[in-house]
Amino acid sequence: MRLDDRDHVSWGPSLQPPGAAPQFRVSVPDIGPAERLNAWRCMQSAMVGPAGFYRDRFEARFAALIGARHVLSTSNGTTALHLALLLNDVRPGDEVIVPSMTYVATANAIRHTGATPVFADVSAETWCLDPGDVAARITPRTRGIVAVHLFGNIAASAALDAVAAAHGLWVIYDAAHASLSTQGSAGSGSLGRLSAYSFHLNKTITCGEGGALALNDDALLERARWLRSHGMDYHQRNLLHEVGYNYRLSNLHCSILCAQLDNIDTIRARRAAIAAAYGEALSGTPGLSFQPLQPGSQTEVWLYSLLCDRGAGAPPRDAVIAGLAAEGVEARAFFPAIHRMAFHGPPPGRSIPDLPVTDRLAQDGFSLPTYNAMTPDDARVIAERLKRVMDRQASGPVNRLMGVS
């Protein structure tokens, strides 16, 4: 089968053929001619394993992009988080505070160490970890904090760092949604000792599956390399220091990522234009609340995200998503609240925490299609369909009372 430039537009993440998918998917990976050329060059070199030119080049260029001293590519974002926790010597019996409003992988990585995730609420002003709620959940067993830059919004790093310093804790940042985000002029990789990134299929920068660990502590670099590669010394292959992991990313994957970085300014501009078109078209729509953005910061436009404002008479979020599906638009609910998942239940002797902002986001939040092949006109079309769905849902009960179908 011959591939052409339209494949990455017409085929969605589930790899359904044209005609079987909605007109607009939530996310479509942008794998075009430049990525294919780099991958072909890598395969021609036969350097498709976990070392090579593209890996070294990507790690250096990504570090420069996010403002980190060092970057180590990893097999995915979860393994990057696991490495960060291991570098902080997290062990069974420890507790790590983490937001409940995040993808479950953030909490799973803590469980992988044998430690217990303790869930805290997020702030209504940022949708990121609330420093005040974090402080209230610190116990003698607390070792550290994992903060998430949710939907590209940078967490309140200064306040979280202050809470951590006051209690002798560390902070790790989950930056899976924030490769392009900045706080002032500072890139997301500059905000702490350790930050974890994802290059999964639906991320802004992608190679299908992959991740990276950003480090700003030179003393951690060598051990991070050992842990990433079976405990093997980076300079002497047969010298093993400890039990490690196979968390490496292949040179082939990194060849795709290098092509993505070559196009990063265009990617950033396209997504900003999509967000601007959504914002303009949806402004003033009854029943919708927008993601709060922080003055002076640049938020990566990963997925354009909204809330159904039930206080303003909005229909239920799931009804809106179903209505959009009927209009050919795939929308995605926010992550389910992890503190309400049975397998992530509270530690013995504790009840399920009261996290009202998290519960509201989990119940009312949804994201609209956001991907590089979209245009601002596409965003305006989707916005008009969303407004039509909101109007139809709001008028439904009145129409039924009047006998109108």
Residue 236, pLDDT score: 81
Structural domain boundaries in the chain: 33-262, 264-393
pLDDT value at residue 395: 66
Backbone angles phi, psi at 195, to 5 degrees: -135, 145
Under a CB-based contact definition with an 8 Å cutoff, are residues 178 and 67 in contact? Answer: no
Contact status, residue 255 vs residue 42, Cβ threshold 8 Å:
yes
Give the pLDDT means over successive 10-residue stretches in the chain (405 positions): 34 41 91 96 95 97 98 98 98 97 98 97 98 98 98 96 98 98 95 97 97 97 96 84 95 98 97 98 96 90 96 92 96 98 88 97 98 97 97 62 33
CA–CA separation, 102 vs 249, rounded Å?
24
Strand partners, 305: 367
- Give me the pLDDT at residue 350, please: 85
- Alpha-carbon span 390 to 12, nearest angstrom: 26
Q: What is the DSSP string of 250-300?
A: -HHHHHHHHHHHHTHHHHHHHHHHHHHHHHHHHTT-TTEEEPP--TTEE--
* Orientation angle between helical segments 251-262 and 53-66, nearest 10 degrees: 40
CATH number of 33-262: 3.40.640.10
Classify domain 264-393 at the CATH topology level. Answer: Aspartate Aminotransferase, domain 1 (3.90.1150)
Predicted confidence at residue 398, as pLDDT, reads: 39
Confidence (pLDDT) at 246: 97
Q: Tokens for 318, please give them.
A: 């799931």
**Residue 70: beta bridge partners?**
215
Instruction: Find the helix or strand (DSSP H, E) in which 109 lies.
Output: helix 105-112
* DSSP result, 36-54: HHHHHHHHHHT--SS-SHH
